[in-house]
């Protein structure tokens, strides 16, 4: 059993390799972030840096689709970095999450870091807007929400639980839905490096590159591009 901090919730805080805290889902019996990598490290390199969102925000408004909240680490890292940018442009985030209880877990645990990012995320969960950032939340079946959504996005964070635990999210039909939601030149980033998953994304219309690795052992993720 992973190193869990006991609290009364279906999402248990989980200490990861870089010292940052992720969550462990008792429903899926899987961590939201890789314990061996570190929640902060994985979110920074496989999502924030891989997406190119920082450079994009320096030249235009950006709309980000966050598919499955990932314990909040992807958005907390993104918010922490974006709040430090000197940019006149706006970031509109739409996050899709099956478990509404996850938002309560984030609200109730002020020890998770980056602190500024999680503080901003808690504010956005409750109020929707902060400076030049807006957050909208959709609760429900992510595959169905993706199929029904009409907004267009510049970046997608694709972060469901793994295919073994959550196979309905790792299908060509879902990947085609993601492709259709992206603007041309947009990108979808994920922690997954599986060959079969990459091939299915290509079948859905994408090309791809791999994420760059920080020092030390680190499994690459994937950046899928809509040309």
Over residues 64-107, the pLDDT tens digits come to: 999 998 778 899 999 999 999 999 999 999 999 988 888 988 88
Within a domain: residue 144?
A: yes
pLDDT-derived band at 226, boundaries 50, 70, 90: very high
pLDDT of residue 214 exceeding 70: no
Neighbour-count burial of 88, counting CB atoms closer than 10 A to its CB (0-12 exposed, 13-18 middle, 19+ buried): exposed
Residue 9 domain flag: no
Q: Are 33 and 77 in contact (CB under 8 A)?
A: no
Range of the domain at 86: 43-225
Higher-confidence position of 169 and 101:
169
Please tell me the predicted confidence (pLDDT) of residue 2: 34
CATH number of the domain encompassing residue 201? 3.40.50.150
Q: Which residues lie below 8 Å from residue 100, measured CB to CB, with a gap of 6+?
A: 139
In angstroms, the Cα distances linking 118 to 73, 125, 160 are 8, 10, 20
Given this model, what pLDDT does residue 216 score?
56
pLDDT value of residue 26: 59
Q: Does the pLDDT at position 3 exceed 80? A: no
Q: Angle between the 195-203 and 172-181 helix axes, to the nearest 10 degrees?
A: 60
pLDDT at 72: 87
Classify residue 141: in a domain, yes or no: yes
Least confident of 23-27, 73-77, 164-168, 203-207: 23-27
Neighbour-count burial for 31-54, b at 16+ CB within 10 Å, e otherwise = bbbbbebbbbbbbbbbbbbbbbbb
In a domain, 131, yes or no: yes
Q: What is the mean pLDDT of residues 33-46?
A: 74
Mean pLDDT, residues 134-158 taken together = 96
Q: Given a cut of 60, is residue 147 above it in pLDDT?
A: yes
Per-residue pLDDT for 123 more than 60?
Answer: yes
pLDDT score of 211:
92
The percent of residues above 70 in pLDDT, for the chain, comes to: 81
Residue 171 C-alpha from the chain's centroid: 18
- Domain count for the chain, please give it: 1
CA 177 to chain centre: 17
pLDDT class of 38 with cuts at 50, 70, 90: low
| Residue 179 within a domain | yes
The model's confidence at residue 111, banded by pLDDT at 50, 70 and 90, is: confident
Residue 5: predicted pLDDT: 33
Does residue 7 sit within a domain? no
pLDDT at 1 over 50: no
Domain assignment of residue 23, yes or no? no
* 198 HSE (CA, 13 A, CB side): 13
Mean pLDDT of 153-161: 95
Write out the two tokens for 37: 């990598």
Mean pLDDT of the chain: 86
Domain annotation covers residue 72: yes
Per the CB < 8 A criterion, the answer to whether 133 and 119 are in contact is no
pLDDT of residue 7: 39
């Amino acid at each position: 059993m992973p190193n869990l901090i006991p609290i009364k919730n279906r999402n248990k805080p989980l200490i990861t390799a870089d010292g940052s805290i992720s969550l462990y889902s008792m429903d899926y019996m899987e961590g939201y972030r890789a314990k061996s990598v570190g929640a902060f490290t994985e979110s920074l390199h496989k999502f924030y840096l891989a997406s190119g969102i920082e450079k994009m925000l320096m030249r235009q408004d950006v709309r980000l689709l966050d598919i499955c909240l990932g314990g909040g680490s992807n958005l907390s890292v993104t918010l922490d970095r974006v709040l430090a940018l000197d940019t006149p442009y706006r970031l509109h985030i739409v996050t899709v999450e099956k478990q509404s209880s996850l938002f309560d877990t984030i609200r109730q645990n002020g020890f998770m870091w980056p602190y500024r990012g999680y503080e901003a995320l808690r504010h956005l969960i409750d109020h929707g807007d902060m400076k030049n950032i807006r957050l909208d939340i959709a609760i429900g079946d992510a595959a169905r929400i993706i199929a029904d959504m009409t907004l267009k996005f510049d970046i997608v964070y694709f972060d469901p639980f793994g295919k073994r635990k959550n196979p309905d999210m790792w299908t060509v039909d879902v990947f085609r839905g993601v492709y259709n939601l992206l603007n041309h030149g947009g990108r979808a980033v994920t922690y997954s490096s599986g060959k079969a998953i990459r091939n299915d994304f290509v079948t859905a219309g994408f090309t791809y590159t791999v994420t760059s690795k920080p020092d030390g052992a680190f499994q690459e993720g994937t950046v899928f591009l809509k040309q």
